[in-house]
Amino acid sequence: MASTITDLQNGFRKGNLCIRLIYITVSCFLIGAVAEVLMTLFNQSLQPLFRLLELPASPAQLLMQPWSVVTYLFMHGDVLHLLFNMMWLYWFGNLFLQCYSTNHLRGLYLLGGLGAALSYLLAYNLLPYFQPMADGSYLIGASGAVLAVVVAVAYRMPDYRVQLLFIGTMRLRYVALMALVFDLLFITSSNGGGHIAHLGGAATGLLWAWALGKGTDLTRGIHTLINSIESLFSRKPHQPKMKIRYGGKHSSDYDYNARKKADDEAINQILDKLKKSGYESLTTEEKQRLFNASRR
What digits encode the pLDDT tens for the residues 108-123? 999 999 999 999 999 9
Position 250 scores a pLDDT of: 47
Position 276 scores a pLDDT of: 63
d(CA 148, CA 110): 10
Position 249 scores a pLDDT of: 47
Position 117 scores a pLDDT of: 97
Position 246 scores a pLDDT of: 46
To the question of pTM greater than 0.85 for the whole model, the response is no
Q: Which of 152, 83, 79, 73 is nearest to 116 (CA)?
A: 73
Torsion angles phi and psi, residue 139, rounded to 5: -110, 135
Domains of the chain with bracketed CATH: 2-233 (1.20.1540.10), 244-294 (no CATH)
CA separation, residue 119 to residues 72, 135, 193 (Å): 14, 16, 9
Taking a C-beta distance cutoff of 8 angstroms, is the pair 92, 145 a contact? no
Q: Are strands 244-246 and 249-251 parallel, antiparallel or unpaired?
A: antiparallel
**23 CB-near residues (< 8 Å, 6+ apart):** 8, 11, 12, 15
* Sequence-ordered alpha helix ranges (H) in 214-283: 220-233, 253-277
d(CA 29, CA 36): 11
Position 279 scores a pLDDT of: 62
Q: Are strands 161-164 and 138-139 parallel, antiparallel or unpaired?
A: unpaired
Give kind and range of the element (H or E) at residue 177.
helix 172-185
d(CA 77, CA 93): 22
DSSP string spanning 32-68?
A: HHHHHHHHHTTT---HHHHHHHSEES-HHHHHH-TTH
d(CA 199, CA 180): 7
Position 244 scores a pLDDT of: 47
pLDDT tens profile 189-244: 989 999 999 999 999 999 999 999 999 999 999 988 888 888 887 765 555 555 54
Side-chain half-sphere of 28: how many Cα atoms within 13 Å?
Answer: 20
Give kind and range of the element (H or E) at residue 164.
strand 161-164
- Averages of pLDDT over each 10 residues, the chain, 296 residues: 76 89 96 95 93 96 96 95 95 93 95 97 96 94 96 94 82 92 92 95 97 93 88 66 49 58 73 66 72 63
d(CA 160, CA 94): 13
Give the three-class secondary structure for 251. Answer: strand
